[in-house]
Amino acid sequence: MKTVVLVTGANSGIGLALCERLLSEAAEGLQLCLACRNMQRARAARQSLLASHPSAQVDLLQLDTSSISSVINAAQEVKLKYERLDYLYLNAGIMPNPRFDVKAFFRGLFSSGVTTMFATGGGIITQWDGVTPDGLREVFATNLFGHFLLVRELEPVLCRAGQTSQLIWTSSNNAHRSAFSLEDLQHQKGTQPYSSSKYASDLLSLALNIHYNNQGLYSSVICPGFVMTNLTYGILPTMPAFLWTLLLPIFWLIRVFTNTFTLTPYSGAEALLWLFKQRPETLDPYAKYHSLTSGLGNNYTQPRKVLQHLKETSYSDCLQCIYHQPVCFPLGAALC
């Protein structure tokens, strides 16, 4: 039987690059499903993939992770179409209405923290979050809750006796512990909703392992590095055009000194592809798997134990709460 892979946010950027690389590795043995919000772009992505791999089996699924009804309807369609799901890439995400601080940028450009500034946007980007029609914070719903709900709804095809399945989250270098609070899971009181949602996804991945490993379902997180995607370009309209032109050679120069500047979606998808080739039960749930690129342009994956502190006993209740708390929101009978 073919390996069934579903990728959210698959019509562009890292998601599309991952699909292209998966088909290049194993097109004949793969049943690939592109789960996208915009179906026009999804169809264009599918045509692009089939142009390179004419015999590939590529399906489309309409999915907006910010919408509860969309997630539930998409999950129902998946369960009707596939008897099992081997890989679920939780890749869709947004960064809300970023504002670029030009003065902070020039201060940081000549400071010792210039690499961190470029890699995470720390100190130069502020964000303003919106609210979905379901009453949830938009970043929380899109990046975290929608994916969590999708996993819960797809349990019948993910958890199968005698077989393993894998969840793979696209996290970020910008997943900062300081931005996250269990008392403010949606980050309604803060100014770093993207960072909060990504750190929460790291925690949730651990909680999912605790809950599902005995059912054959495993979860891992990756960091794609600093990649030029639509998410990144969304920051740029507030920057002068000449400044963006100047930044491009700076980015390539920085990559000589730091391996986190993967820059292209192809390179950013390296860890996602690497995990596809691994046995999920052999992976470290406390590691984040980083896509890295050497100064010579060679791509590789490296695990970094950034979540090691969560092995402490005091965090066990936190992880259990991370798993159970999202379903406590008053979202109606659909979640019961």
Which amino acids are annotated catalytic? 194
Compute φ and ψ for 301, nearest 5 degrees.
Answer: -115, 140
Three-class DSSP category at 204: helix
Q: What is the C-alpha to C-alpha distance for residues 336 and 329, in angstroms, rounded to an integer?
A: 11
Residue with tokens 């793979």: 168
At CA 224, angle to CA 222 and CA 226, rounded to 5?
145
What are the Cα distances from residue 112, in Å, to 7, 48, 105?
38, 42, 13
* Helix, strand, coil abundance in the chain, percent, nearest 5: 50, 15, 35
Residue with tokens 């970023």: 98
What are the Cα distances from residue 100, in Å, to 110, 126, 230, 290?
17, 7, 16, 26
Q: Residue 89 in contact with residue 65, Cβ under 8 Å?
A: no
Compute φ and ψ for 255, nearest 5 degrees.
Answer: -60, -25
Sort residue 121 into left (φ over 0), alpha (ψ -120 to 50) or beta.
left
Give the list of residues 6+ apart from residue 150 with CB closer than 8 angstroms, or none: 8, 63, 65, 71, 74, 75, 88, 90
Residue with tokens 């590529």: 58
- CB-count exposure of residue 46 (10 Å: 0-12, 13-18, 19+): buried
Measure CA 248 to chain center. Answer: 24
